[in-house]
Chain A
Amino acid sequence: MIAEAGLAALWLAAGLAAYQFVLMLLALKSAVDVARPMRAVAVAQGALTLIAFAMLLLVFATSDMSVKLVFENSNSAKPFIYKVAGAWGNHEGSMLMWVTILAVAGSFLAMFSRRTSERTLMSALGSQAVLALGFYAFLLIASNPFARLFPAPADGEGLNPLLQDPGLAFHPPTLYLGYVGLSVAFSLAVGALLTGEVDSRLARAMRPWVLAAWVLLTLGITAGSYWAYYELGWGGYWFWDPVENASLMPWLAATALLHSINVLAARGALKAWTMMLAVIAFSMSMVGTFLVRSGILTSVHAFAIDPERGTFLLVLLAIYVGAALTLFAVRGANLKEGAPFELVSRETGLVINNLLLSVILGIVFLGTLYPLFVEALSGEKLSVGAPYFNAVAGPLALVLAILVGIGPLLSWRRERRPVWGQLKLPALLAASALAVTIILAPGIAILPRLGLTVAAFLGAASVLPLVGRNPLRAPLATWGMVIAHLGIAIALAGMAANAAFSSERLAVAKPGDTLDVGPWTVRLADVTPTAGKNFTALEAELRATRGEDVITLSPQTHYYSDPQTETNESAIRTLWNGQLYTVLGRADASGGWQLRLWWKPFVTLIWAGGALIALGGAIALLGRVWRRRRKDATADWRKERYA
Chain B
Amino acid sequence: MKPKNQRLVLVSAASVAALIAVLLAMWGVRSQASFFYTPADIAAGKATDGQGARLGGMVEPGSIKHDADGVTIRFVVTDGKATTPVVFRGIPPELFREGSGAVAEGRMQSGTFVADTILAKHDERYMPPELGNLAAEHKAGKTLAK
Contact = CB atoms under 8 A, between A and B. Distances in A.
Interface of A: 160, 162, 233, 270, 273, 295-298, 300, 302-305, 336-338, 340-342, 351, 355-356, 358-363, 366-367, 370-371, 378-385, 387-388, 391-392, 506-508, 563, 565-568, 583, 585-586, 588-590, 592, 594, 596
Interface of B is mostly: mixed
Interface string B1-40: 1111011001001100110111011111101111110000
B74 interface: no
B1 A340 contact: yes
A507 B68 CA distance: 11
Nearest to B36: A381
A388 to B, nearest CB: 4
A380 B146 contact: yes
B43 interface: no
B12 to A, nearest CB: 11
Given A295-B129, A303-B126, A507-B70, 18 more contacts: A162-B122, A298-B119, A305-B126, A340-B1, A363-B25, A363-B28, A366-B22, A366-B26, A366-B29, A378-B145, A382-B33, A382-B54, A387-B32, A387-B52, A508-B70, A588-B66, A594-B91, A596-B90
Given A337-B3, A351-B13, A585-B91, A508 B71 contact: yes
Contact of B128 (A298, A363, A588): A298
Contacts of B89: 506
A592 B69 CA distance: 10
Range, interface on chain B: 35 or more
A383 B29 contact: no
Contact of B123 (A160, A297, A300, A359): A160
A563 B121 CA distance: 13
Contacts of A356: 17
A300 B69 CA distance: 28
B130 A381 contact: yes
A383 B91 contact: no
A362 B22 contact: yes
Contacts of A592: 70
Interface in B120-143: 122-130, 132
Contacts of B13: 351, 355
Among B33, B34, B70, the most chain A Cβ lie within 10 Å of the Cβ of B70
Q: Which 6 pairs of residues, A with B, have the shortest CB-CB distance?
A: A508-B70, A362-B21, A381-B36, A388-B32, A366-B25, A585-B91
Given A298-B119, A384-B32, A506-B90, A363 B24 contact: yes
Nearest to A303: B126
A114 to B, nearest CB: 30
B144 interface: yes
Contacts of B69: 507-508
Nearest to A296: B129
Contacts of A594: 70-71, 91
